[in-house]
Amino acid sequence: MPTTDFGFKTVDEQDKARRVRGVFDSVASKYDTMNDLMSLGLHRVWKAYTAMVANVKPGHKVLDIAGGTGDMAMAFADKVGVRGQVVHTDINLAMLKQGRDRLTDKGILLPTMVCDAEHLPFADAHFDVVCVAFGLRNMTHKDRALKEMARVLKPGGKLLVLEFSKIAPPLAKAYDWYSFEVLPRLGQWVASDAASYRYLAESIRMHPDQHTLKALMQESGFAHVDIHNLNLGVVALHVAIRC
């Protein structure tokens, strides 16, 4: 049986999606609160920067993968106008419901669907922009997912991958202490779930660094990939153009 990582654990490939789903089922109701606390609100700045770089225009079709509680979908919905479309997707139903309810409460009605990024149910060359924010590291086969994102993008279309990444070496020790000592305690206090936030810290360390991910994206059908390091590499935005 092929295996893969689930944080620092090695699990059967077919079991990873179930385990990841369990993590997000557990934290969905407190996800936004925890994001604000553990990033000191910086996740909002990172997402706003991603939306700016996306440069979505009226009439564009945008796919939000691993869209969760809807931050990116909300940002894009303001840009596409009545002729455009934003499709809000996530593999996790609990997260998707949180996002759908937030969007609806703000009067934003978007197509919302449970969707596996490794098997996207969309036609070839359908979207102008695809975005995945803080979701790629949880995917079992990142290469398959990236190839699917390339498939559904129009030639010249843009992929934006916002993800935790490799921090600058001088900060690594302090960042490790925060990740493995503070985050699980914060998760236990706010979400009654230390294990899920321990997985978060581990999954970040198992995710490819900036240049490894760039190479993987180039191998997956993207002709040009730029890396935007944010906050000394705590997060990196990879911006790729479809061949």
Q: How many residues can be counted in the chain?
A: 243
| pLDDT tens digit at each of 243 positions of the chain | 799 999 999 999 989 989 999 999 999 999 999 999 999 999 999 999 999 999 999 999 999 999 999 999 999 999 999 999 999 999 999 999 999 999 999 999 999 999 999 999 999 999 999 999 999 999 999 999 999 999 999 999 999 999 999 999 999 999 999 999 999 999 999 999 999 999 999 999 999 999 999 999 999 999 999 999 999 999 999 999 999
Domain harbouring 156, CATH code: 3.40.50.150
Report the C-alpha gap between 194 and 188 in whole angstroms: 4
Give the contacts of 225 (CB within 8 A, at least 6 positions apart).
Answer: 214, 217, 218, 238, 239, 240, 241
DSSP state of 29: G
Characterise 70 by phi-psi region: left (phi > 0), alpha (psi -120 to 50), beta (else): left
- On the 0-12 / 13-18 / 19+ scale of CB atoms within 10 A, 187 is buried
Report the C-alpha gap between 99 and 12 in whole angstroms: 30
Token duo for residue 120 = 């996207």
Angle at 127 between CA 122 and CA 129, to 5 degrees: 130
Query: Into how many domains does the chain fold?
Result: 1
pTM (predicted TM-score): 0.96
Per DSSP bridges, beta strands 112-114 and 85-90 are: parallel
Within 10 angstroms of residue 10's Cβ, the number of other Cβ atoms is: 9
Within 10 angstroms of residue 139's Cβ, the number of other Cβ atoms is: 22
| Residue span of the structural domain in which 77 resides | 3-242
